[in-house]
Chains A and B, each alone.
Chain A
């Protein structure tokens, strides 16, 4: 792979300057490579990370059933990767105006990667460099341990979509300035919730009690607070002394297995944990991208349009630009285009910020004409979209900002599809023009890994007990067997999964939810209804 030529690099640097002037803060150093179609074929199974570890499923182009994007939503054909320095890929032989447009798009992507809070777990390292070291480690392990390495990779990958991404983000985002008193932490996090299992209102009453004390007597608040606890719960002090610190950090399934599996902690098996760590780290790296697809593409499209219209270097190619832009951001007649929705939503949000429609005044207004005319001219549109870019995920983005005005403005509707067996066709029809329905449809289409946690109370030294927190959708049943087989191999003991079966006896009626237990032991899966 070559880097782009000097001329094109010069164009890119100018784009960077203009992007910075507009407020985007992409990093200074960037790398640009030219790729051929052949290169792409090799890179795409590695999700464009050239240094990603080798795994036989990557090398072999295997057909994955239709609707694979629902099961594996990570699209590999991106042009820019979230590394330090950011690396981007370009096809050869493109005119300057085309490159300018793409560069602006790439700059906005980089700005997004480096400012959106969901990516915080990727800010402190260069993934590409780390991946290279990991790849070499795995290759070395393959020399020593042969195909066992691939089995460990396979079985860990089976659990890599349920990594504790949000837990890790919570840890990272915990404000550093806040020094948490461990006794206070123990009281609120553990004692009240797990030991005493108080209700939420009781919990808040307690925290208000403390806040009240601080307001009135900041110096002695703490002592008074704990004195009262001593009276109410005499056992508290003793429990606090006996507490086991480590027990209460939330570990995801992979981490838990790594820490507690007897087999993996034997000397001769320790190497397996390195492999598992690498698989987990890789998955963590890609988690934020999964949850911000619409925002990311929308942000990049918004800025490539914005900046290119101001760029005099494209003179004479306005029609070409318009055509390309339309192609990338057109709202499909039927279907969804994250570029289209994301870009238009950002435009909408800017308008909201500029006109002050995110104010309480506007929300109070009921009159349609007055709503149309409402314009406080606050000029705070940019401030708002930059904040949105930093703080939100796709879910919040859609949930918060799609409303009837937006849906009407862009003539959006929900499309349904019915089979017509007489004529052997699928009929597409307009199902609803209502904003709530449109919003619900998109939210339903967002990538949604299931929430599966280790149930610490029920897990013993021998049995690993996993629990699926039901969020409205059942698990894909025919994949449960092999996933649990992998988990059993790593845990080296029986693995239990508690989840729900869902059936719809009749249309238009609530689904029937039946709790079930799957148990994998000695490579045999047994299912039981509870």
Chain B
């Protein structure tokens, strides 16, 4: 493949320049040998559960009973659960409630952020045998065995199930995921819960720039009697109403339109009016490293943390936040929405400066720094492909020139846990954090980091020196 050849060529070049040691080379090779395509796979979508031995009961089979839980019930439970968890911490036991996180496309293209409170009753139970670590065969290995019936012979295909909700057509997974226990709220409410549960600091300094108001003109308002464009449906409705009142319509199913009285005041028009398109104060740029080394839990941690950050900011700025999302491997690109940002899969080599530079260019070209308070949150495993230059530091300094805050999260990817990563080395050598203590914050999370580590990280990323962590 062409891309793979390019990556190999880069690696060889860096090796010859002496920039890459053995361990580093091994990790880079892993990225090259891994998958190279970025698919958008819904992180949480699971196809409908197949009938099994234990998910049947008389109630369900005879009466077609489907267990249902109302959202109100869940919101209340969430508060209770959180209170209980606080008490557990005081008693010295690990917290039991996890706030899961799902971002799903909602109706009309809006993002639905769904928080799923989960708890487990841990016991000693059997697990499945693990998947083979190294699969020589071209074939993907089987994902489970099931019963079935039919005339087909061995090897015949029976059918398919989509891997993402879009594939399911209307309805989708939202309505039927095993009981619909989700708490559906928008990001604002989640942000509120997070702020309260995790005692996140409130952003004191919301920046110097005042809210921008942009207007637009649109034909949305209606007016009787005069205007730009006649709204035929509403007008007809008014005319019929008046005529009915006057008794001029004998049979509503057979109306003689030529005999209707038309009052000029019954004509409804649409008029051009000025409306506020949006107000906002802040622009948040989310960037994440989606190179091959991020595969698996490092990505999970970053998207989880960014989801919480997104929600928290919504709450802080009372939704007056604009957000944009970008991803990078050896090159950077912008993605259209949070759903894609959340779900696009990791692959390919790593060049951190590509992402930083990309954002800097956007800000410059669109002159965003003039009007907005800008925040950048970036997640990576720090395992950059070195290029022997100082470009990364230069671009970071360029960014620090306009942001209110740059929050970087470095996640362990299982291979680089003990030492400083490439990224950190460069940042430390240039003393960026010391020079810009209130602008740049960096937090590190191990590759097995749980919700607690993520929240602690957030606290650090948004802290103001003197207050917070």
Contact = CB atoms under 8 A, between A and B. Distances in A.
Dominant secondary structure at the A interface: mixed
B461 to A, nearest CB: 27
A371 interface: no
Given A61-B69, A62-B118, A65-B118, A426 B163 contact: yes
Interface residues of B, number: 89
Interface of B: 39, 41, 46-47, 49-63, 65, 67-69, 73-74, 77, 80-81, 84, 87, 91-94, 100, 116-137, 139-164, 167, 177-179, 181-182
Given A78-B57, A339-B56, A414-B148, A91 B132 contact: no
Interface string A365-402: 00000000000000000000000000000000000000
B38 to A, nearest CB: 12
Contacts of B129: 473-474, 502, 504, 511
Contacts, number: 321
Interface of A: 37, 40-41, 44, 56-57, 60-80, 89, 91, 98, 101-102, 105, 147, 151, 154, 157-162, 293-294, 297, 300, 324, 327-328, 331-339, 341, 410-421, 423-433, 438, 441-442, 444-450, 452, 468, 473-477, 479-483, 485-486, 497, 502-509, 511, 523
B181 A485 contact: no
Contact of B157 (A77, A333, A411, A429): A429
Given A162-B124, A418-B143, 8 more contacts: A63-B181, A75-B57, A161-B124, A337-B56, A414-B148, A426-B160, A430-B150, A431-B145
Nearest to B57: A77
A159 B53 CA distance: 24
Contact of A417 (B127, B137, B146): B146
List the 8 closest A-B pairs by CB distance, nearest first: A335-B51, A77-B57, A77-B59, A63-B181, A507-B132, A335-B50, A415-B148, A79-B58
B99 to A, nearest CB: 11
A44 B181 CA distance: 15
A441 B139 CA distance: 21
Contacts of A64: 118-120
Nearest to B97: A62
Contacts of A62: 77, 81, 117-119, 181
20 contacts: A41-B67, A57-B121, A62-B118, A63-B100, A68-B178, A105-B62, A297-B56, A334-B50, A334-B146, A335-B52, A413-B147, A416-B146, A425-B163, A429-B155, A452-B124, A473-B126, A483-B123, A505-B134, A507-B135, A508-B132
A154 B95 CA distance: 13
B126 A73 contact: no
Contacts of A433: 153-154
Contacts of A294: 53
A276 to B, nearest CB: 15
B103 to A, nearest CB: 16
A506 B146 contact: no
A414 B163 contact: no
A165 B100 CA distance: 35
Given A336-B52, A415-B147, A430-B154, A473 B84 contact: no
A474 B126 CA distance: 6
A474 B54 contact: no
Nearest to A88: B58
A424 B55 contact: no
Contact of A426 (B47, B94, B147): B47
